[in-house]
Amino acid sequence: MRRAWPAGALLLASAAAGCSDEAPAAPEPRATAGDAPDAAAAEEAAYHDDGPYVLRDVTAEAGLSGFHQVNGSAEKPFIVETVGGGCALFDADGDGDLDAYLTNGGRLGAELASNPSDALYANDGRGRFADASAAAGIDERRWTSGVRAADVDGDGACDLLLTNYGPETFYAGDGRGAFVERAAGLGDEDWSTGAAFLDFDRDGDLDLYLANYVAFDEARMLGEHPVTVYQGIEVMKGPQGLPGAPDHFFVNEGGLRFHEASRELGIVEDLFGFQCIPFDFDGDGWLDVFVANDSVANALWRNREGKRFEDVALRQGLAFSLAGRPQACMGIAVGDFDGDLLVDLFATNFADDYSTVYRGQARGFFLDVTQAVGLGPLTMAELSWGTGFVDLDLDGDLELYEVNGHVYPQVDRFPLGMEYHQRAQLFEYDGVRWREPDGRGGRALAAKRAGRGSATGDVDGDGDLDLLIEDIDGPPRLLRNEGRTGHGLVVELVGAGANREAVGARLVARVGERKALFLVGTAAGFLSSCDRRVTIGLGAAEALDELEVTWPLGASERFTGLRAGTRVRIEERPGAPAGVTITGP
């Protein structure tokens, strides 16, 4: 007689066996989604240039509209075609102004040579750009996700690491605007996204954390065309349902040679990684790494004195939202928005979920306070990517922006209450809550695009921060800051040894009783590189009362009398006072 049914305790494994992932039928297409005409007009009217923040779109006059990002086909049937890429603002040629690097994608299955190239645009110092790719030796036709600009070998010239769908590319810069591809020993074939340089072992040079996204089997995917169902619509599959690609850690052997050491250091993550940032969350002097993961728990790799890493995201409060659930994190903003000198984080997320404010607590703990500071309703509808805490009006406190755009073009054809092209958003903090400012940051922010990466920096040399946005399937957006501003001060730290980037340094700026915290080299945003210099808003003050610099290896120095409107270069000199140079008005 049979006893085939387990009448007693059931094995957990039995329950999941055979559960399928098939799709229900798609709904009938209906009228194109979008705002009703009246509501749309009212919404549009909220964007004007009479508010305190005015970002004006100067892409064309700045000479950047000739660049066109290509990100696969319009229908985006594969996840590779949806992520897009980042951009960088950095000084490629050593002339002191910010040049722009724009990443480009491609088409699946196409010959590499037929893909469009990334581009380097040189700044004339007044915010006008010219394509300098050829002269710079940039002919990068791999499908680029992210760009990390940093002086990796400490030779005084900025280098470029490009994270790609496929092997990443390392370009060594000569400081005069030319770049040469170098092997560097990175050798990661996976689809890499976020990159963070940090001196994890305090040996003076920069090591590399590389976040990888999906293990995309191109031949199989092109053959099978797998789909998933989003609100009854068939859309591209992933990242859920696809294998994650493992993150990598590369140890700098000196110069531009790295060796892979992920396993020996305990990094065994094969989740869907996007942005990763180095910062010393627990103040123990060893730089840690936070990784924003898509659809699964985030990772916070605690650095155990340069010998190994362990993921402590859950117990530190960064793995999930307050509800204890994973979100689809994309980009990360880093800053001390509430002025308590503890680092706060902001992670951008998928649509129908809020982007999350993690307020820093003592001893490196974090608490999702989104629904206590006003950002829940403001960020719920958008699918968000690039982000940053920036002091746009130089009044001494931080604003916050996020760049938005959906991943499924199909949403425009169904009444899902969302759109593929979305507006970027700007928020200001009133000391208690975040809100959208009067004018919403200007008419330029009324434009709806499929935004992705972004970078901030003073492009036109007027002392305030401008914003460069990389959209997919179109030109970038250069948004020049034309709002009212207070006084500002730009500080460039130059570290001793090979970590000239001073990654891991902390600045505390004091004006009167007010203090503000800045971190150097955190690689915040989404797959992009902001200007590495720190812009400090002074409001009406004519000078900074005190600037405390804590260098990456722990030495601390104080500086006084730094005047508004200047650019200051502070060079670390171990065993001696730092050198201070005024480099600009």
State the residues that interact with another protein by CB under 8 A.
Answer: 1-7, 9-24, 27, 30, 229-232, 314-317, 319-320, 322-325, 351-353, 361, 363, 365, 367, 369, 371-372, 374, 376-377, 380, 414-418, 433
Interatomic CA distance for residues 465 and 426, integer angstroms: 14
DSSP 370: G
Tell me the two tokens of residue 29: 């297409």
Q: Of 228, 227, 120, which is closest to residue 171 (Cα–Cα)? A: 120
Q: Put the strands of the sheet holding 207-212 in their side by side order.
A: 192-198, 207-212, 248-254, 257-260
**Of residues 141 and 304, the one with the C-beta less far from another protein:** 304
Nearer to another protein, 86 or 244 (CB): 244
Pick between residue 304 and residue 320 the one whose CB is nearest to another protein: 320
The distance of closest approach from Cβ of residue 2 to another protein in the complex, given in angstroms and rounded to an integer, is: 5
The CA–CA distances, whole Å, from 6 to 1, 2, 14, 15, 264 equal 14, 11, 10, 12, 43
**Closer by beta carbon to another protein, 285 or else 415:** 415
Least distance in Å: CB of 410 to another protein?
A: 12
Q: In whole angstroms, how close is the CB of 392 to another protein at the nearest point?
A: 24
Residue number with CB closer to another protein (102 or 351): 351
Q: Between 250 and 414, whose beta carbon lies closer to another protein?
A: 414
Closest approach of Cβ 361 to another protein, in Å? Answer: 7
Q: At 452, is the secondary structure helix, strand, or coil?
A: strand
Residues 258, 177 contacting (CB under 8 angstroms):
no
Could you give the CA distance from residue 406 to residue 351 in angstroms, rounded to a whole number? 8
Backbone phi, psi, residue 362, to 5°: -60, 150
The stretches of 322-434 forming alpha helices (DSSP H) are 375-379
Are 509 and 559 within 8 A, CB to CB? no
Rounded Cα–Cα distance for residues 572 and 579 (Å): 7
Which residue number, 129 or 434, has a Cβ lying nearer to another protein? 434
Closest contact distance (angstroms) between CB of 290 and another protein is 15
C-alpha–C-alpha distance, residues 284 and 408, integer Å: 43
Closest distance to another protein from the beta carbon of 30 (Å)? 7
**How far apart are CB 149 and another protein at their closest, in Å?**
35
Using the minimum distance from each CB to another protein, give the nearer residue, 406 or 506. Answer: 406
**Pairing mode, strands 567-573 and 487-494:** parallel
Decide whether 157 or 347 has the Cβ nearer to another protein.
347
- Residue listed under structure tokens 């000739």: 66
For another protein, the closer CB: 65 or 371: 371
3-class secondary structure, 133:
helix
**Which CB sits closer to another protein, 65 or 231?**
231
Q: How far apart are the first and last CA of the chain?
A: 93
CB of 235 to another protein, least distance (A): 11
Smallest gap from residue 505 Cβ to another protein (A): 27
The two structure tokens encoding residue 76? 């985006």
Min. distance of Cβ 434 from another protein in angstroms?
11
Sheet holding 434-435, edge to edge: 384-390, 399-404, 425-429, 434-435
Instruction: Report H helices in 65-184.
Output: 80-83, 133-136
- Tell me how far, at minimum, the Cβ of 229 lies from another protein, in Å: 7
